[in-house]
Amino acid sequence: MAKWVGNVGWKQLMEPVRILLADDHAVVRAGIRNALEGLPDIVIVGEVGNGPQVQQALSDLHPDCLLIDVTMPEFEPIGAIRAIRARYPRLRILVVSAYDDDVYVQGLLGIGVDGYHLKDQPLSDLRLAVQRVIAGERWISSPLLSKLLNPATSLAALPSLSPRQKELLRLLAHGADNRTIASQLDLSVKTVENHLTRLYRQLDVQSRLEAAHYAREHPELIAHAGGGTAVHVDPSYWADGAEQGSILIVDDNKRYRYQLRRTIGKAYPQATIYEAENVNEMVQIIQRVRPKIAFVDVVLGDEDGISCVRKLKAAVPATRIILISAYPDREFHRRGLEAGATAFVDKKDLDAAALTQIIRDAIA
């Protein structure tokens, strides 16, 4: 970094780049710190967890780069970033966030942040993002680039379905026949047939098989249909019983849940997949369902995923719990296993092959 040295004038000094971490989750800060260890010429000078602490640390520590999750308490993102940029024009600002809303991202980029990185991306990408930003370049996570450049591929491009149609589609995706659907929705079989005819027309498909395939290809259409209520279908539909086919995802990142749901669907098409954004939603689901496998993120909004593991294990001891994180850390691993998790997995390693092996181990 360029520093002013007495009467000598401007001189390039080989001093480390000073980085301030700002995130209200201590486990995330620890994960970022560990991820950045080993990068040359970088030192983390402080960690803070709310808006006032950010302002104080910027004044006291004079960092060269701010890594910040702008959804912290007592921090209004647009106004605060605009004020920070005005007061510290040379400060490099990298937002590290779970939110991928394109309008939100564009707003922050428009007021002067130097990069926007998604928390669920590989650690190698985070290190690269930091290096690019402190070198004076702009960084945007690749999934965001696709979304910003191709807005037509967003959810708005999908057909708009009523709550009843979403529920019908969800039941079709899980193999329910017309009689089962009628029983589930308290309708006559004839009414179900009429509803399905209209649904096929709206999806531009010709049969229930095509509609079920469409649902599996676009799980975001039915992600919240029915509030997570289990589908009671003929037990022969499952190779190993309904309970064996139940998988729970607990993660506060809607985008990541969608990605994981799709990957699980490809690895194990028979699965009944339930989603929870937080611990309360998880508790509501396990009151009705005993999932065979649960994938739980280390960080759940303002909650601790490891505490979630403890509650889940106490309520459903037989469930195999896989703790997942975008910032794998030995301490997280130790605490997670002590809480009852079966394994701790880096999110970037949860591809179809890994999920297939996890599911096979669980149902063996």
pLDDT for the residue numbered 63:
96
- How many CA within 13 A on the CB side of residue 136? 3
Would the CATH topology of 159-236 be identical to that of 238-364?
A: no
How much is the pTM?
A: 0.51
CATH class of 159-236: mainly alpha
Start-to-end C-alpha separation, the chain: 57
From first to last of its 364 residues, what are the pLDDT tens digits of the chain? 444 333 333 334 468 999 999 998 888 898 899 889 888 889 999 999 999 999 999 999 999 999 999 888 888 888 889 899 999 999 999 999 887 766 668 778 888 899 999 887 888 889 999 999 999 988 988 777 766 655 544 444 567 788 788 888 888 877 778 888 888 888 898 898 888 988 888 888 777 777 877 776 666 566 545 444 333 333 333 333 334 568 999 998 888 888 888 888 777 777 788 889 888 889 888 887 888 899 999 888 767 788 899 999 988 888 999 999 877 667 777 888 888 998 888 887 787 778 888 877 776 5
The domain ranges of the chain are 2-153, 159-236, 238-364
Q: Answer yes or no: are the C-beta atoms of 100 and 144 closer than 8 Å.
A: yes
Among the residues of the chain, which ranges form H helices? 26-36, 51-61, 77-87, 102-110, 123-134, 142-149, 163-173, 178-185, 189-203, 208-217, 254-267, 279-286, 305-315, 330-339, 352-363
CATH class of 2-153: alpha beta
List of residues 6+ apart from 49 with CB closer than 8 A: 22, 23, 24, 25, 26, 29, 72, 73
Q: Answer yes or no: are the C-beta atoms of 10 and 18 closer than 8 Å.
A: no
Task: Quote the distance between the C-alpha of residue 243 and its chain's center.
Answer: 25
* Dihedral sign for Cα atoms in the order 288, 293, 294, 295: negative
CA distance 177 to 165: 15
The tens digit of pLDDT for each residue in 231-284 reads 333 333 333 333 456 899 999 888 888 888 888 877 777 778 888 988 888 988
pLDDT for the residue numbered 305:
86
Q: Answer yes or no: are the C-beta atoms of 163 and 140 closer than 8 Å.
A: no
Cβ count near 43 (within 10 Å): 13
R_g of the chain computed on alpha carbons = 24
CATH topology of domain 238-364: Rossmann fold (3.40.50)
